[in-house]
Structure 1
Amino acid sequence: MTGRIAACRFGVIMLRIFWWTTLIATIALIASLTTILTVGWPATWVDGWPIWTIALIAVIIIESIIFWIGIITVYATSVQLGIKIRVIGVLCGWIPVANLIALRLIIRTVGEEVRFESAKEQLDRSRAGARICATRYPVLLVHGVFFRDTKALNYWGRIPAELQRNGAVIYYGNHQSAASVADSARELTERIRQIVAQTGCGKVNVIAHSKGGLDMRYAIARCGAAPYVASLTTINTPHHGCGFADYLLEKIPLAAQRQVETAYNTAASHLGDKQPDFMAAVHDLTQAGCARLNVEIGDRNEISGHVSDTGPFAGIVCQSIGSRLAHATTGKFPLNFTYPLVKWFDGPNDGLVAQPSFPWGEHFTWLEPNGTRGISHADMIDLNRENIPGFDVREFYVQIVAALKQRGL
């Protein structure tokens, strides 16, 4: 058990001790006070109140110590509490009854986190010797639009660490956050050549999310990356574009678009992008933009069921994955707002990209929602570090890479 999970477990134990001992002590104090006042047992009020008062003060002090140790520990170490539950705990902390409900929510949430993470650690230990993700070629993770590869906030959440624990060698695209598909493709091609030259690995297995999938398809077909790519797995990539993006560009005044573009490009430049191009990235994500790109790329979008032996992707294992949310309310901001728009224009979607736009390559995997939750565009890269009931995103990627290893890649 890691230090963080051990601390979470300790915090939950302390809160459970607080819950039950406070309940028992409260009942005992009320019962003793009642007997003292009504029947004068075990002492009259005159003789018994000092002892009862001391007992009350002792209970308050001891329970306060137990509570604050527990709550500070879980607040400091839990990932699954998130901002919302933490705020609920603070706001309800001084409201009778509501504070008990909030405390039960905190205990249950962190308790489930401890159980889930402990099971994952046990699973990883049991298969450590197998190194099921130790592929022949290293894995290159390619991010989507409006994000960068940074150490402070990993775009891929807890996924890279889980892959590495199971034997994978991981690299990142390190391309700009917003650029045209063609420009991003050129950056990624150079990055792949750099990795191959430095490591002698020969090729890479690429896993690309969102626009990153379009960038990599273009890199392979038009920028010379094909000889260095063993496989390409696209995750929730809009291969046929996003219809609501076409609509927004049509309805939003050009002046407003330019203001947003200027603001974004300025901020992105300060964060490290050399030549950010907000509008070029957006236009390439429209249905019209993707139709043009698909012609330029020149591959066949339909699911083939086998590795292509002709065309720009000859000999490269190509597969795609897509998911959908069940309801707008189950998505995190801003996907809870965009989901209804995308649904109106394009149908079932992940909050940004609709189902018809996902399929590409020799095989397509469609992830259906579990219960009422669903799986969003952000969930597919563990952006929120959320343990989703019925969908272990980290294990999902482990199995993707393990399957590549089984194919000799």
Structure 2
Amino acid sequence: MKKIRGTFLSIPVLLLANAPALWKLIDINSLLKTLIIILLALYTLVFMFKSHGRKGSHGKIRRLDSGAFVLGCGVLQSVIQFIIVIVLCFTKLNGWRLLANALCAYAITTLLCLSGIVRIAASARQVKILWYVILLFTWYIPLVNCIVFRKFYKAARSEYYFEQAKLDLDAARKENEICKTKYPILMVHGIFFRDWQVINYWGRVPNELIRNGAEVYYGKQQSANKVSVSATEVAERIKEVIAETGAEKVNIIAHSKGGLDSRYAISHLGMDKYVATLTTINTPHYGCKFVDMLLGKIPESIQGFVDRKYNKLFTALGDKDPSFLDGVYDLTYKNCSELNASTPDSRLVSYRSVMSKMNSIRSAGFPLNIGYLLNKPYGKGNDGLVTVESGLYGENSKMIEHKGKRGISHGDVIDLFRENIKDFDVREFYVDIVKKLKEQGF
């Protein structure tokens, strides 16, 4: 229906694009012709810059819908214009008039498409950077640019429908507050990241949980350090959240090394009386054997160099006393085995673990694709950093099954790349986790 509407609304733009030919073919007063062309030009400007987004949508979603609509009209007009060019060759128009018409049509149609592209670029998250590079070098090449424009159109439409469906779903269940748990949610990040500055470690997940009633806080531990040090910071954060909210306990959702930090805080630092549940996501409970292998082969001088550079960078970003090597060594199989032996689960806390895996090296980019290869000898599957055997912990463990060639990587499971993955909605994955916590009385 929208395509039909777009076809009719863009007819005046198509007429303006063929103004040189119509000026010659239509036998009316020149002044009237000029007036018509001025009106068509004004209409075209309004059409290009008017928001055509769905009523009720807002912000980026509306711009995305509008951009896809205008771009779709431009691509369709390109096809129609190609037919018009062929037809005009059999009319009484001379060569220079045909050339002038072709140039006018090319300019207006390209402007129409670029108008849509600009809105998409300002709103879309699912268009890969590679396609922007391709666009940069092909937008002026007829037919080739149509192929690229169509790629942008399809990506934008797909993202729009996905995000709009998400908004509609949230609106429909808003009153139910399905993520409003008894205790607040504390999200504890993994190694080499910070979770509360500039770029959210958890992507679009926290806002989705909040929209559905959750009370969300962050671990705020340093990006890299020994498990015992990070655990002390997590313990302090737990106390802060309890003091701020007045809650008796928290529900922890921890990713990667954050799961080890949380387990240590619970079992060694007396946090079991303040933690109701711990859900670990792709945590290397039994270590990363490929890390043992790499540390055994990389010279200590290089290890020290990387450690110094990393620590200097993250100190500048706000860490008080980061330690790259201490954090990495605590992920080895040897150190995790020692941690497990000295860190029994508390009977006061409900534990559950979740793990995913990549299905091929193409499931993720660098460095996870390299990690995938390095991990292959050490398990039946891995997420680019952690093997399945290491990530599944305790009796209440769950494997994320993803069909097809892609799978779910260590970054995908925290929405690191903000990508809409077919057959895996990461936001709904976390909504389901928190929803079950609520249903279980936590």
Q: TM-score, structure 1 length as denominator?
A: 0.91
1:392 aligns with 2:416: no
Shift of 1:23: 1.1
The equivalent of 1:214 in structure 2 is 260
1:196-345 alignment runs, 5 A limit:
196-299=242-345, 313-345=346-378
The equivalent of 1:305 in structure 2 is none
Shift of 1:192: 0.4
1:31-50 alignment runs, 5 A limit:
31-33=87-89, 35-36=90-91, 43=92, 45=94, 49=95
Aligned residue type for 2:413: M
Contact 2:242 2:248 in 1 (8 A): yes
The equivalent of 1:404 in structure 2 is 437
Three-state SS of the structure 2 residue aligned to 1:73 is: helix
Aligned residue type for 2:366: F
Contact 1:243 1:346 in 2 (8 A): no
The equivalent of 1:4 in structure 2 is 60
Given the alignment, which residue of 366, 381, 386 partners 2:414? Answer: 381
Distance 1:376 1:252, change over 3 A: same
Aligned residue type for 2:408: I
How far, CA to CA, are the matches of 1:365 and 1:83 in structure 2? 34
How far, CA to CA, are the matches of 2:430 and 2:113 in structure 1? 38
Distance 1:51 1:401, change over 3 A: same
Contact 1:370 1:391 in 2 (8 A): no
Shift of 1:12: 0.8
How far, CA to CA, are the matches of 2:144 and 2:88 in structure 1? 27
1:344-359 alignment runs, 5 A limit:
344-359=377-392
Shift of 1:64: 2.6
How far, CA to CA, are the matches of 1:198 and 1:26 in structure 2? 65
How far, CA to CA, are the matches of 1:44 and 1:145 in structure 2? 69
Contact 1:207 1:233 in 2 (8 A): yes
Given the alignment, which residue of 120, 124, 132 partners 2:166? Answer: 120
* Per-residue Cα deviation, 1:319-368 (whole angstroms, up to 9, x for no partner): 00000001111212211121111112333100000010012234111012
Root-mean-square deviation (CA, aligned residues, Å) is 1.5
The equivalent of 1:168 in structure 2 is 214
Contact 1:242 1:346 in 2 (8 A): no
Aligned residue type for 1:387: N
* Per-residue Cα deviation, 1:141-191 (whole angstroms, up to 9, x for no partner): 000000002331000000000000000000000110001000111110011
1:153 aligns with 2:222: no
The equivalent of 2:179 in structure 1 is 133
* Per-residue Cα deviation, 1:108-154 (whole angstroms, up to 9, x for no partner): 11110001001111111110010000001000000000000233100
Given the alignment, which residue of 225, 229, 243 partners 1:179? Answer: 225
Higher RCO, 1 or 2 (CA under 8 Å, sep at least 6)?
A: 1
1:75-86 alignment runs, 5 A limit:
75-86=121-132
Count of aligned positions? 386
How far, CA to CA, are the matches of 2:348 and 2:380 in structure 1? 33
How far, CA to CA, are the matches of 2:113 and 2:379 in structure 1? 50
How far, CA to CA, are the matches of 1:151 and 1:273 in structure 2? 12
Aligned residue type for 1:236: N
The equivalent of 1:73 in structure 2 is 119
Shift of 1:97: 4.4
Contact 1:142 1:212 in 2 (8 A): yes
Given the alignment, which residue of 68, 81, 87 partners 1:25? Answer: 81
Shift of 1:102: 2.0
Shift of 1:57: 4.0
Percent identity between the aligned chains?
44
Q: TM-score, structure 2 length as denominator?
A: 0.85
Given the alignment, which residue of 2, 14, 24 partners 2:70? Answer: 14
Shift of 1:54: 4.8
How far, CA to CA, are the matches of 1:44 and 1:25 in structure 2? 16
How far, CA to CA, are the matches of 1:398 and 1:405 in structure 2? 11
Aligned residue type for 2:305: Q
Distance 1:87 1:54, change over 3 A: closer
Shift of 1:96: 5.0
How far, CA to CA, are the matches of 2:161 and 2:209 in structure 1? 20
Aligned residue type for 2:399: W
How far, CA to CA, are the matches of 1:190 and 1:265 in structure 2? 22
How far, CA to CA, are the matches of 1:338 and 1:144 in structure 2? 16
Contact 1:325 1:351 in 2 (8 A): yes
Given the alignment, which residue of 384, 390, 396 partners 1:363? Answer: 396
How far, CA to CA, are the matches of 1:234 and 1:4 in structure 2? 32
Contact 2:272 2:348 in 1 (8 A): no
Aligned residue type for 1:331: A
Distance 1:346 1:92, change over 3 A: farther
How far, CA to CA, are the matches of 2:93 and 2:132 in structure 1? 45
Q: Which moved more, 1:100-109 or 1:185-194?
A: 100-109
The equivalent of 1:302 in structure 2 is none
Shift of 1:84: 2.3
